[in-house]
Structure 1
């Protein structure tokens, strides 16, 4: 049912909030729920019932016109559909996300394992070999991270500031729901390994066996635990991104023109100007204050305050969205 409510929310995303449209949305929600339960009682699976309900109720245009709120419908902001993300591009994006998740988590795991291998060779009195293996595994890990990040960034750039249709949101919601079980299992395994990784270190101190070997086992377990946590989290975020956004945003700190316009409405121009001058101005104030008063020890606090103020200002702009 959550998928149907999310779909209905996306249909009314650009519709002015009035008593009439709120009542129309409530009526539609009740009708869609009744139809969903009717299909379930006929033996349909959950996904089949949800798909049938969404496809049978049509677009927001038909819904609003049928409920005689077409005048209000004309006033809503129409999204730019000229280069909306296609089904094929969405699945290619998720494929790229999985590739990025695998290589990123492997790279991080290798970097941690490099230290573990070094500790292991110290434990067997082979410090020289450990010093040789440390940069080798570290370099391989960094290579995995950089190569995957470049491919991921390139694909995100292709999708940047493009419209995410309700159909894509529905498919993304299905993919996200299907992945939830795998996400929970991976997270539990990863966190469990990180917690139990302390056992080898504690045992080495209690039973007085070689401490470097205990540290090596600790780091190996952490490496595997971090692999699972990063891997499932990145994949889940890839599905969630196409569920939660209306325009694809490559860089959260610098959303595209259409994404900014959608979020801030008529205030979009002021938001762009704000992003352009705000942080350079903060840096200048930091340097001027630090030099003038010799306050280097605590002047960095301005960046924390600036981050809080930035969130406040942007929230105010979004509140003024028509």
Structure 2
């Protein structure tokens, strides 16, 4: 019956556009059908009945083929890639420019706290830009939709706010010695708002709901979840690297720990490897 299952699925894909993507999709469906057939046989069902049950549970293959084989707007992909590249380049430039206020205002002495505050402000903006650029950049030829762009803006705002939270302690603690508690309150307030925004953005992300129990709907659900897993992993790793750069700048210019601060990048690399391994094991 395994041969009959393959022949039946190949007949469904007879008019599908020839591509490696379609071949992989077809083989994935055949493998799933064979597994279901084996399970039914092992539970005591007859071969003919098991075959009919498996075939009946395939679902609308034409819809799946249509969704997988939709033409790619390469011109729009190129435009989005260019926009993401520009935003990324601008963000990296801002990281470098963020040192200018510190260097200029440091010569005035009493304005060095303002220079540090401006540095964190620019770094926060740069971080938001680079998070957004990487979140909406086309992946595997797939364009980001409006929902993805909205989530990207929300996440970039939240991450930027974590960096903005450093500004009150920098300004208040250096000028008003008796208001350390106020600076801490403002810092945790901003960080708390950023956390609320970030958690809401993650938890409000829609999940794929199967319309039936066919193999096509199961495959769509699996594909949707896999896309989310890869996107989440990539976003977390990007945030870790950005925060590492921010910490590196902050530690060196506030504490002058140039001799040991480079270890932050080693630690970040190890953490990213662990995160990647955890996601791969979860798959």
TM bin, normalised by shorter chain, reads: 0.3 to 0.5
Which structure is richer in relative contact order (CA contacts within 8 A, separation 6 or more)?
1
Q: TM-score, normalised by structure 1?
A: 0.31
Q: TM-score, normalised by structure 2?
A: 0.34
